[in-house]
Amino acid sequence: AQTVTQSQPEMSVQEAETVTLSCTYDTSESDYYLFWYKQPPSRQMILVIRQEAYKQQNATENRFSVNFQKAAKSFSLKISDSQLGDAAMYFCAYRSAGGANSKLTFGKGITLSVRP
Amino acid sequence: ETGVTQSPTHLIKTRGQQVTLRCSSQSGHNTVSWYQQALGQGPQFIFQYYREEENGRGNFPPRFSGLQFPNYSSELNVNALELDDSALYLCASSLAGRSYNEQFFGPGTRLTVL
């Protein structure tokens, strides 16, 4: 079974600064997807960024980028130029690429606060 | 394009009762997944429905059951409610058949069991 670990329960960043959120995972599969989801307080969970395991290049979406280390099974999220609207809970998630369904396995999440 | 909607928003039940939660998929989506998110935790996969059939199940007892209708909307039913069933229940819809199918989440139903 796959597991996702987010060991930092909370982090804080100054507005306009850069912050990195950590995630490790465990799997015996070679083909899979990794995701970072954002869940603002009392609002819907939205996809921030995804990474296909077969791609060596790290994914980037505007101010959000990942550092994907497949051998180390590490998948961190970097948020540049942090904004007040980035304050939320962030979840790292795993999905098999070849499975019969699109089940997501989530970590426990990290609460990010942004200081003005 | 209509997003994923869930009803009700909040629900309070007592132990032993039964509850039905509802989810309307995003337009054009044929797959619905349900997740349970306990307070301060990440969502846990309950099950997924594809074309009205259960297509995968997580580590949840049989008292958690579901349905998917021809219009791809879905219900989650929980019988014999327990205190530990108190959680945010999320549904997510997607379009199966592509190499990658993003899941879009609804706002959730907050269930409190007293």
CB B86 within 8 A of CB B113: yes
Instruction: Search chain A and give the residue with CA nearest B105.
Output: A45
When pLDDT is cut at 50, 70 and 90, the band that residue B72 belongs to is confident
Selected residues 7-66 of chain B with any CB under 8 Å from a CB in chain A: 31, 33, 35, 40-45, 48, 50, 55-56, 58
Q: Is the pLDDT of residue B1 over 70?
A: no
Give CA–CA dist A75/B102, Å, rounded: 19
Which positions in chain B touch A43 (Cβ < 8 Å)? 107
Q: Would the CA dihedral through A58, A61, A62, A63 be positive or negative?
A: negative
Which positions in chain B touch A106 (Cβ < 8 Å)? 42-44
What's the number of CA atoms in the CB half-sphere (13 Å) around residue A67?
A: 12
Instruction: Search chain A and give the residue with CA nearest B4.
Output: A44
Measured CA to CA in angstroms, residue B74 lies from A8, A79, B1, B52 at distances of 35, 35, 18, 9
pLDDT tens per residue, range B23-67: 999 888 889 999 999 998 999 999 999 989 998 999 999 999 999
Q: Is the pLDDT of residue A116 over 60?
A: yes
Instruction: Search chain B and give the residue with CA nearest A111.
Output: B40
* Residues above pLDDT 70, as percent of chain A: 99
Chain A, chain B: beta-carbon pairs less than 8 Å apart: 60
Give CA–CA dist A76/A4, Å, rounded: 12
Q: Is the pLDDT of residue A98 over 90?
A: no
CB spacing of B41 vs A109 below 8 angstroms: yes
What number is the average pLDDT over the span A26-33? 93
Q: Is the pLDDT of residue B97 over 70?
A: no
Q: Is the pLDDT of residue A100 over 80?
A: no
Q: Is the pLDDT of residue B99 over 60?
A: no
What number is the average pLDDT over the span A30-39? 94
CB B32 within 8 A of CB B68: yes
Q: Is the pLDDT of residue A96 over 80?
A: yes
pLDDT top residue among A98 and A95: A95
Q: Is the pLDDT of residue B2 over 90?
A: no
Exposed (0-12), middle (13-18) or buried (19+): which is B34, by Cβ within 10 Å?
A: buried
Q: Is the pLDDT of residue B98 over 60?
A: no
Residue type present at position B12? I
Instruction: Search chain B and give the residue with CA nearest A32.
Output: B100
- CA-nearest of B109, B112, B110, B111 to B4 is B109
Give CA–CA dist B17/A72, Å, rounded: 46
pLDDT tens per residue, range A65-79: 999 999 999 999 999
- The closest CB to that of A102, out of B48, B90, B106, belongs to B48
What number is the average pLDDT over the span A32-60? 93
Structure tokens, B82: 């327990």
B78-106 in b/e form (b: 16+ CB < 10 A) is beebeeebbbbbbbbbbbeeeeebebbbb
CB spacing of A99 vs B56 below 8 angstroms: yes
